[in-house]
Amino acid sequence: MPELPEVETVKNVLNKIVTNKTIKSIDVYRDLTIEGDKNEFVSSLTGETFLNVSRIGKYLIFHLTNDKVIISHLRMEGKYYEYQESERDSKYAKVVFHFIDKTKLCYDDSRAFGLMKLSTESEYQKEEMIKKLGPEPFDINDVSSIIKKVKKSNKPIKTTLLDQTLITGLGNIYVDETLYASKIHPLTPANKINKDEWESIINNAKEILSIAIEMGGSTIKSYHPGKDIDGNFQTRIKVYGRSGEICPTCGHTFRFIKVGGRGTTFCPLCQLKKGAPINIGLTGKIASGKSVALNIFKELGAATISSDEIVKDLYQKKEIASLIEKNLHLKFKGNVVDKEQLRNHLLINIKDKKKLEKLIHPLVEEEIKNFLSKEANPIRVVEVPLLFESKVDHYFDTIVVIDIDQKIQKERLKKRNPQSAIYLEEINKTNKIDENKNKATYLINNDNDLASFKKEIKSIFTEAKDRIS
């Protein structure tokens, strides 16, 4: 969706196109684009002349003669194209303004979410869509009123900044950029943002938006502001859409999550979440020390759950055993999954591992979701050996990866269970820890003694408590 800088760019271009042009006629090809009576819209504007175009937040305001005003919101894909009258309309033209100088302005909208509304100079700022808008970052010099408005809100700061009634003009791109510049995690509750942080948010938003306006906004993916209009701010974007790339500040890998349904990219180290809950995903290769770490977290007071235990419980269920039997062509005794039989089968039929994961991962994910949604403890730790493969990493604001020397790991595997060591080594080969460990908030090396390992876990737990308080 075009944001403040893109709309400002469109406004500036439109002023060059429409100023002093008189409307000869109007074609409306999609009635729903016009909010209100379509016929009144056409009859009231025919014969009027455009004086200038202004902007409020993401709304374009067309000012015409005789105090007529058009309020326009581009929504997802709205664009304005100028053509000669002899040329064909744009491909997705919804409204076309024909001018007496034999040019025309096409409002083009492939997604058909945009709108226009007829109003007047005395009334347009009283229209509900305009009246409810908060101030732009440029108009905020004191954050006290914002702090007062959000003091009871535990909504994530990203969701809060996208709320145009609090601050107008910030959308997905510029919120991600602003929070990264301010070193604030997108899931941090709004009421946990202190005065200094709010001032940082507003100041960074002003700077980022100013640069974006200067560069003509951003031309991102399918969004192109209009005919012959290109934004160049995408060349300056630091975090938005860069999941998997390296943070230039700390060297960690940017992570991707969804916040309020919106794709969100952040740095797991530069942007630590504050406020409850702190959801920690604990992962590492087999025999790296995950179970020991989970028990330490539990002893320290965290709520914990193990994916291995979830799977163990699932394997005791008759319906799960039947499901695996059917899909992997096996037969278990006693209506429960025989782990050794299953392990031996997978060693021979390696491709069946993917089939098993497709069956089990969604069930494990559901249990994790239930745990995180119902658990009252503010610090929750979930051990997930295949955290990245099962694509559940987005549930966690904090990820702890336990690393271990390969030689030490193999020795531990043999000591743990010599019979299953070969199978477990094969699983480790498919583990994606090495290629994803740079996404970790904390990377713990478990090559040393238990006391050192405990000290590191305790440090993480203490920091999590500090972030909550």
CB 441, CB 381: distance < 8 Å: no
Pairing of strands 93-99, 23-28: antiparallel
- Short-list 275, 303, 261, CA closest to 187: 275
Other CB atoms closer than 10 Å to residue 161's CB: what's the count? 26
Q: How far apart are CA 147 and CA 150, in angstroms?
A: 5
Catalytic, out of 30, 155, 238, 262: 262
119: β partners: 69
CB contact at 8 A, 235 and 421: no
Taking alpha carbons only, the member of 93, 71, 74 closest to residue 82 is 93
Residue 388 neighbours by CB under 8 Å, 6+ apart: 283, 432, 433, 436, 439
State how far the Cα of 172 lies from the Cα of 262, in Å rounded to an integer. Answer: 7
Q: Helix axis angle, 195-214 relative to 4-18, nearest 10°?
A: 30
**How many whole angstroms separate alpha carbon 298 and alpha carbon 295?**
5
Alpha helices in 215-317 (DSSP H): 290-300, 307-314
Q: Cα separation of 298 and 259, whole Å? A: 28
439 in catalytic set: no
Which among 372, 306, 315 has a CA at the least distance from the CA of 342?
315
Tell me phi and psi for residue 73, to 5 degrees: -120, 125
- Nearest Cα to 116, choosing from 164, 77, 60? 60
Burial class (CB in 10 A: 0-12, 13-18, 19+), 22: middle
- The active-site residue out of 2, 189, 378, 385 is 2
Which residue shows structure tokens 């406004």?
11
Single-letter amino acid code for the residue at 131: K
How far apart CA 30 and CA 232 sit, in angstroms, is 32
- Structure-token pair, residue 310: 């979830």
Give the chain's end-to-end CA distance (angstroms, integer).
Answer: 36
Q: Of residues 11, 58, 290, 380, which has the active-site annotation?
A: 58
Which two three-digit tokens encode residue 434?
């090495």
Interatomic CA distance for residues 396 and 387, integer angstroms: 10
Q: Are 221 and 1 in contact (CB under 8 A)?
A: no
Catalytic annotation present for 3:
yes
Tokens of 383: 């051990």
Identify whether 2 is a catalytic site residue. yes
Active centre residues (catalytic): 2-3, 58, 262
